Every structure is written in structure tokens, then in C-alpha cells.
Amino acid sequence: MSSETAFRDVVRPSDVEAVRDLVRATGYFSDEEVAIAADLVAETLARGADAGYAFLLAEHDGRLAGYSCFGRVPCSTVSWDLYWIAVHPSGQGSGLGRSLLRETERRVRAAGGLALYAETSGKAQYASTRAFYEKSGYATAGVFADFYAPGDAKVTYCRRLDN
């Protein structure tokens, strides 16, 4: 991550396609998941804060390099979900993902959040994702066998933000 990387939290109409392209480029997500990622941006553009999603977007040299999408868990006053965190393959390993995660945590904490939850797949392909959360101080909060499909567990991580 260089000094030319800038963070912003206001989504723009161009972010719908930029997020779609970035999520697709990672090679981790299905077409349905790629569409959902873009739909959350579109919903936030249409509904603003009422959509329930907050975004942190990292730009490098004028293009989207990574982003996170997060929001308070409905019916909770202190628990938040990390819905998405993704870094373009060209920026993976640069520390950008860790910077996005730490800034997301800071914003959740500032909004009164005590815990941030992240979910990922139990497939072998996601081993690096699980390692990222574990190295970032997240503990396994639950594993749900055959959640996404037979043989594909949902792994839920949590990090307490009040420590």
C-alpha cells in the first residue's frame, strides 16, 4: 500500500461496477455473490443510511483497490457484521486488506460496536481468508457444516472491539 492510496466512505454511482469488477477479479466469488456485492452498493445509493450498509473504499491511482462493507446487526445495539472485504489481486499481500479491516473496526467501535463478525466458507480455497481473520485477532465463533452446500461449511469469526 503506497501513499497514493486514499480511503473514502461515500459511495458513488460508478462504484456499482467498480465493486462488481473487483469482487469478480478476486476469483473467489460466484456470479450470484458478485451480483449481491454490487447490489449492496446500488441499494446504499438509493436508500442512503436506511439501507443499513456502510462502506470503506480504498482507491489507488484513481481506481478501486479494495473495500469493506459493514453494518449493525439488526436487533442488536452492539454487534456488527462485516459483510464484505475484498482487495484487488494486484494489491493482495500489500497490507491493504489489514488496513481496511483495522479502519473498519475503528469505525464500528466509534459507532458503539463491541463486536465485529465475519463469515466465510470452509472450502479449501478460502484457507487464506480464514488465516487472514485469525492473524487479525478474530476467533472462531461457530462452524456450520454443509451451510452453503454439501461439504461447504460457514465459518463465523468474531473480534471483540472493547478490549
| pLDDT at res. 128 | 93
Query: Residue ranges per domain, the chain?
Result: 5-160
pLDDT in tens, 69-98: 999 999 999 999 999 999 999 989 899 999
133-152 burial code (b ≥16 CB/10 A, e <16): beeeebeeeeeeeebeeeee
In this model, does residue 107 exceed pLDDT 50? yes
Query: What's the mean pLDDT when you consider all of the chain?
Result: 95
| pLDDT at res. 117 | 98
pLDDT in tens, 11-33: 999 999 999 999 999 999 999 99
Q: Tell me 110's DSSP state.
A: H
- 105, burial (CB in 10 Å: exposed 0-12, middle 13-18, buried 19+): buried
CATH, range 5-160: 3.40.630.30
| pLDDT at res. 5 | 86
Q: Provide the pLDDT confidence category of residue 2 given band limits of 50, 70 and 90.
A: very low
| pLDDT at res. 163 | 76
| pLDDT at res. 123 | 94
Q: Which long-range contacts (CB under 8 A, 24 or more apart) does 23-30 make?
A: 23/84, 23/86, 25/88, 25/89, 26/86, 26/87, 26/88, 26/89, 27/89, 28/86, 28/125, 28/126, 28/129
pTM here? Answer: 0.93
In this model, does residue 1 exceed pLDDT 50? no
Q: Tell me 124's DSSP state.
A: G
Given a contact cutoff of 8 angstroms between Cβ atoms, the answer to whether 135 and 88 are in contact is no
